[in-house]
Each structure stands twice: as structure tokens, then as C-alpha cells.
Amino acid sequence: MTAPADVFTAVQSQFPAASARPTLDHPAINVPMADAVAVLTNLRDTQAFDFLVDVTAVDWGVEATPRFSVVWHLLSTTKHNYVRVVAACVSDTEPVAPTISHLWAGANWHERETFDLLGVRFEGHPDLRRILMWDGYPHHPLRKDFPLAGIDTPLPDLEVGELTKATAAPAPMMGGPFVASVGEMNMTDAEPSAKDESWNERSNKPAAL
């Protein structure tokens, strides 16, 4: 396994602006956003970090400067080592980072999710659309200034909106909580089941002729 100091030393020898990032687990490196793609390419091609685990971002809060950081986690499947690379976004209002979807195809969806939920725009991404929220949704739900209770936003589909209004009464228990029997029994009987099975009972009734 490559030692944490070796990973950082190898990166800094090529990218002097890189700095060690305090970490409690695997090696972590701060790099300027302008160097991010080159650093990640270097880690893939010269240090065998061949697998992109994820791409995400951190919103440090509206008072922080810089407010947003993009985080990449890489794994070496041959050396069995992880590395974390972090780069701060230059703008606190319109955070931008370069895409790495040309380095790892799996970055495509990671970057779309980060854009959708945190509002970081990945320049050069081949299809940067929302992946969870609908197109045109005006907020980014994982930002620190997004309220825990959410923001009342009109749904894009009128039919869905009317259905939501019609079912706005408090939800019944059905679907949970889940309970399991205790004691000696076969595994099939030990599977948890919903405490309220009324929905299943209604759905399993034969249709009226």
C-alpha cells in the first residue's frame, strides 16, 4: 500500500501549489481548481488510482469564504488505497468546476447530482441536467441556506399537482413501522413485515365484476 506521505509528495512534486489536507482517514490533498483535472489525471496515470469512487461538493455556509469545495474520492484497485482531492470554487454565488467525465465515465451522473443538489456547474460536461429534481426547479436542496422544511414550489405537472392536493391528508401507518418476530423460526418467517398491512389487503382484493 502506498504511504499517505508518498501520495502527497508525488503530487506536490508535479504541482507545487498542492497542499496536504488534515484528515483522519486516507490521504487528502488540497489543490487549486485550475489544477484539479491535471492532478486527477496524474493520480490515475502515474499512481494507479484507477477507480473514481465519487464526486461531491461541500457547502461550508453563506458566511464562509470560499463557500463551496468540490471533492473527488479515488481508489487504487491494485494498491488498495484511497485518496481525497479537494478544490475550492472561486465564486461563492456561481460555483464552477471542470468536468472529469472524460477521465471516468462514471463522473457523468456524480456531477449531475452535485449540480442538481448543490448548484456546482461542471464546465465541459456533455449533458449537465438535473438528475433528481425536475428541470426548472429553482433551488438546490443540499445548500446550507435551504430550509429543512423545504420550500413550497409548484409542481411542473398539473395532474401531479392536483393529485398531491387530493392526498394531502395525514398519511396512514401503512408501510411501516416494520416489525419482525423473535425466536427460532425459518428465515422466511423472520422477514420483517409492515405493522399495517391494510394497503396490501385492499390491493389484493379481487376487482368487482
DSSP 27-78: -EEE--GGGHHHHHHHHHHHS---EEEEEEEEE--TTSSS-EEEEEEEEETT
User: 158-201, pLDDT tens digit by residue?
Assistant: 655 554 554 444 444 454 555 555 555 565 555 556 555 665 55
Kindly state the cell numbers that stand for 38.
491535471
pLDDT for the residue 201: 58
Q: At 155, is the pLDDT very low, low, confident or very high (cuts 50, 70, 90)? A: confident
pTM score, whole prediction: 0.74
User: 8-40, pLDDT tens digit by residue?
Assistant: 999 999 999 999 999 988 899 999 999 999 999
- What are the chain's domains? 4-164 (3.30.460.80), 170-203 (no CATH)
| Residues near 86 by beta carbon (within 8 Å), at least 6 away in sequence | 21, 28, 29, 30, 31, 69, 70, 71, 72
